[in-house]
Chains A and B, each alone.
Chain A
Amino acid sequence: MATAFDTVKDYTEAEYKYGFVTPVEEDRFPPGLNEEVVRRLSAKKEEPAWLTEWRLAALRRFLSMEVPDWQKVRFAPIDFQAISYYAAPRQKERPKSLDEIDPEIRRTYDKLGIPIREQEILAGVAVDYVFDSVSVATTFKRKLEQLGVIFCSMSEAVREHPELVRKYLGSVVPPGDNFFAALNSAVFSDGSFVYVPKGVRCPMELSTYFRINAAGTGQFERTLIIADEGSYVSYLEGCTAPMRDENQLHAAVVELVALDDAEIKYSTVQNWYPGDKEGRGGIYNFVTKRGACRGKRSKISWTQVETGSAITWKYPSCILQGDDSVGEFYSVAVTNHRQQADTGTKMIHIGKRTRSRIVSKGISAGRSDNTYRGLVRILKSAEGARNHTQCDSMLIGDRCGAHTVPYIEVQNKTARCEHEATTSKISEDQLFYCRQRGISEEDAVALIVNGFCREVMNELPMEFAVEARKLLGISLEGSVG
């Protein structure tokens, strides 16, 4: 009998709609990585000596490390000497107001649907715009300053708030943590910095939009968010890149610190260029994200919707150090065509009565491969710790793969871990039912997949949930025929 999936198409009709290039003059370093490059980068950013030394130490670590190979993704060796480690749109000095921004750059963000404006669409969201290696604008800074909330680019934070940066940078992800974290520590160019003072509930979403524009470069941004005692902040990052045949590297590091009774909600909608249907080009998204629940009753919640990139390889993690602290990980990872994703989380329970919750939804289509890899480690000290993990996979077609690799290590007898996993397919009955009601096949797939992911989508800030829902549909276009 003919099934809906007999003719699974391995191409997508929809072009990646963020795949354009902005014609700006860029200041860039020639390709190559050595101490001289790191010194020049640090000098360019007018960094203090301690940071230059910090970078150089990281570089030495990096040069002594090997590319890890334990993950279930395959890629050709990366030539780290062929990458340019700094590219920035040429500007005499950083624009003092939003009005001074290069019109080309302004147009870029208009086209991406996130105009650099403090009004209308994104009225409830402050945005830091990162274009290749530098932050080009940050909205609502004044408004946030009145509350004592610091939201600026990392370069600016190094200049304006060196004591905070020095205290926390690398305190969650040390420079030698892993291969790509070491690389990032040596060459990170920009990124966002957030500090929310004691007792302040940040009244708006903070957001960074990462855009890779230049060819032959990578993006190595560094984000640091500190929520002081009793504070709350919700932060969201989004990302896109032009369509190119080459693979580009995105190796970011994100560090979160939550002190007593503080809460950080970190959401990602990742839509880097995934490569073409044959797997040519696309971003290698190798990212280290980790949050430390240092304080008692603190909470860190990661929500990610991963639809882009040729390879996604990241494990947003929580170190649950404070007693009664809570870590959450909500993830949707969609792979189509030749995309590969190996993603999940680590929950490290140290404090008493620490709790963690993991909800992972993997959707694979085309010839893609989608792996959930998660570690729950409960140390001896974590009396009464709890974890609940739920991993659901959905397969579209029969040429893709879904894998679940849970690691559970429990060293305290009073702890309790629960793990549930399911695998399902979109049934022909479901597709027919939707189509009989007038919904096109592609919209039906999007509808069913969104239903499958609802628990996670509900965690996204409202302003972004609608976009993310559409994105799921778009990434799966052409997955059934």
Chain B
Amino acid sequence: MLTIENLQVSVEGKPILKGLSLTVEAGRVHAIMGPNGSGKSTLAHVLAGREGYEVTGGNVRFGDEDLLALEPEERAHAGLFLAMQYPVEIPGVANMYFLRQAINAICKARGQDEIPAAEFMRKVREQARLLGIGEELLKRDLNAGFSGGEKKRNEILQMALLEPRLCILDETDSGLDIDALRTVADGVNRLRSPERAFLVITHYQRLLDYIVPDVVHIMADGRIQRTGGPELARELEERGYEGLLGTKLAA
């Protein structure tokens, strides 16, 4: 579903991704772990089409499309979703209204009819209940004054309703208390399906106890350094980056 080949990306002239390759198959959950500053968010942003990153080499295919040639909204229409590390606040725009706009924009781009109001309400309420999001939070301005945990749950709510093919989660677990972590992980697990793939960026084994990955990648210095099964994450937990990769790459 997603094929990244030798991706090289610079920010303000400084190379961040230095030839990263990665293949994600439909139905699989890939975890990416790596030290701070190794380029995980950069990868997520480049895949989602954020401006400010210069792709200096390599290519990315998403299904049968050249992902890097698409505008950010076109990538969303094609089924790519990024749950952000720092969701932004949009004052004056109600959470639920925003959701509706997003769903309708995607329907329109796919040549489908807009979602009827009643069906939308039913779906939102159902998902919100599963994620422990209260009615009040749906009516509030998008992310404005939301706690860290509320923001993350809200990202998963959007993900559940937009029904993407590829879900990228950038540190969705950070800032969550132990119960919220469970709720969010359950939310992700409910979405697992043979047609859908996940790229889960995290620092902690704990999340991977709940969302059990098929593949684990260790990223450092702008490249995938090691790839393995769930046991790789446990090994990392025990030995740390230094023990796993040596002093040079762990920095």
Judging by beta carbons under 8 Å apart, are B92 and A1 in contact?
A: no
Decide yes or no whether B115 CB sits under 8 A from chain A. no
CA of A475 to CA of B238, assembled, Å: 58
Known interface pairs A3-B52, A432-B51, A432-B72; A438-B105 also in contact (CB < 8 Å): yes
Judging by beta carbons under 8 Å apart, are A450 and B52 in contact?
A: no
Decide yes or no whether B77 CB sits under 8 A from chain A. yes
CA of A433 to CA of B75, assembled, Å: 13
CB distance from B103 to the nearest CB of A (A): 8
CA of A450 to CA of B98, assembled, Å: 12
Instruction: List residues of A (257-295) whose CB comes within 8 Å of B's CBs.
Output: none
Decide yes or no whether B162 CB sits under 8 A from chain A. yes
Judging by beta carbons under 8 Å apart, are A437 and B12 in contact?
A: no
Q: Which residue of B lies closest to A455 (CB)?
A: B92
A313 surroundings in chain B (CB, below 8 A): none
Known interface pairs A432-B72, A437-B162, A438-B73; A443-B105 also in contact (CB < 8 Å): yes
Interface-facing stretch out of B81-89, B184-192, B214-222: B81-89
Instruction: List residues of A (427-454) whose CB comes within 8 Å of B's CBs.
Output: 427-430, 432-441, 443, 447-448, 450-454
Known interface pairs A443-B101, A448-B93, A450-B93; A433-B73 also in contact (CB < 8 Å): no
A14 surroundings in chain B (CB, below 8 A): none
Judging by beta carbons under 8 Å apart, are B12 and A1 in contact?
A: yes
Judging by beta carbons under 8 Å apart, are A438 and B91 in contact?
A: no
Question: Once A and B bind, how many residue pairs between them come within 8 Å at the CB atom?
Answer: 84
CA of A455 to CA of B141, assembled, Å: 12
Judging by beta carbons under 8 Å apart, are A451 and B93 in contact?
A: yes
Known interface pairs A1-B12, A432-B50, A433-B84; A451-B71 also in contact (CB < 8 Å): no
B52 surroundings in chain A (CB, below 8 A): 1-3, 428
Decide yes or no whether B11 CB sits under 8 A from chain A. yes
- What residues of chain B have their CB less than 8 Å away from a CB belonging to chain A? 11-12, 48-52, 71-73, 75-77, 81-82, 84, 86-88, 90-93, 98, 101-102, 105-106, 109, 141, 158, 162
Other-chain residue from B71, B84, B92, B109 in contact with A452 (beta carbon distance below 8 A): B92
Judging by beta carbons under 8 Å apart, are B92 and A437 in contact?
A: no
CA of A450 to CA of B84, assembled, Å: 24
Q: Which DSSP category, helix, strand, loop or mixed, fits chain B's interface? A: mixed
Known interface pairs A1-B11, A438-B109; A433-B71 also in contact (CB < 8 Å): no
CB distance from A396 to the nearest CB of B (A): 15
| Known contacts A2-B51, A436-B49, then 4 further A-B pairs from the complex at CB < 8 Å, ordered by chain A residue | A429-B88, A436-B75, A452-B92, A454-B92
Known interface pairs A438-B73, A453-B92; A447-B12 also in contact (CB < 8 Å): no
B12 surroundings in chain A (CB, below 8 A): 1
Judging by beta carbons under 8 Å apart, are B82 and A436 in contact?
A: yes
Judging by beta carbons under 8 Å apart, are B48 and A436 in contact?
A: yes
Q: Which DSSP category, helix, strand, loop or mixed, fits chain A's interface? A: helix
Decide yes or no whether A4 CB sits under 8 A from chain B. yes
CA of A212 to CA of B75, assembled, Å: 44
**Can you list 30 residue pairs at the A/B interface with Cβ under 8 Å?**
A3-B51, A427-B88, A428-B52, A430-B88, A433-B88, A434-B102, A435-B49, A435-B71, A435-B72, A435-B76, A436-B50, A436-B73, A436-B75, A436-B81, A437-B98, A438-B73, A438-B76, A438-B106, A439-B73, A439-B101, A439-B102, A440-B73, A440-B105, A443-B101, A447-B93, A447-B98, A447-B101, A450-B93, A452-B92, A454-B92
Tell me the count of chain A residues lying within 8 A, CB to CB, of chain B: 27
- What residues of chain A have their CB less than 8 Å away from a CB belonging to chain B? 1-4, 427-430, 432-441, 443, 447-448, 450-455
Judging by beta carbons under 8 Å apart, are B158 and A437 in contact?
A: yes
A453 surroundings in chain B (CB, below 8 A): 92
B84 surroundings in chain A (CB, below 8 A): 433, 436
Judging by beta carbons under 8 Å apart, are A448 and B90 in contact?
A: yes
Known interface pairs A1-B52, A432-B51, A436-B76; A451-B92 also in contact (CB < 8 Å): yes
Q: Which residue of A lies closest to B83 (CB)?
A: A436
Judging by beta carbons under 8 Å apart, are A451 and B141 in contact?
A: yes
A439 surroundings in chain B (CB, below 8 A): 73, 101-102, 105
Judging by beta carbons under 8 Å apart, are B105 and A452 in contact?
A: no
A428 surroundings in chain B (CB, below 8 A): 51-52
A427 surroundings in chain B (CB, below 8 A): 88
6 smallest beta-carbon distances between A and B, as pairs: A451-B92, A451-B93, A438-B76, A437-B102, A454-B92, A435-B72
Judging by beta carbons under 8 Å apart, are A436 and B93 in contact?
A: no
CA of A322 to CA of B88, assembled, Å: 46
B98 surroundings in chain A (CB, below 8 A): 434, 437, 447
Q: Which residue of B lies closest to A432 (CB)?
A: B50
CB distance from A66 to the nearest CB of B (A): 42
Residue of B71, B73, B77 with most chain A CB atoms under a 10 A cut-off: B73
Other-chain residue from A4, A438, A450 in contact with B51 (beta carbon distance below 8 A): A4
B49 surroundings in chain A (CB, below 8 A): 435-436
CA of A441 to CA of B106, assembled, Å: 13
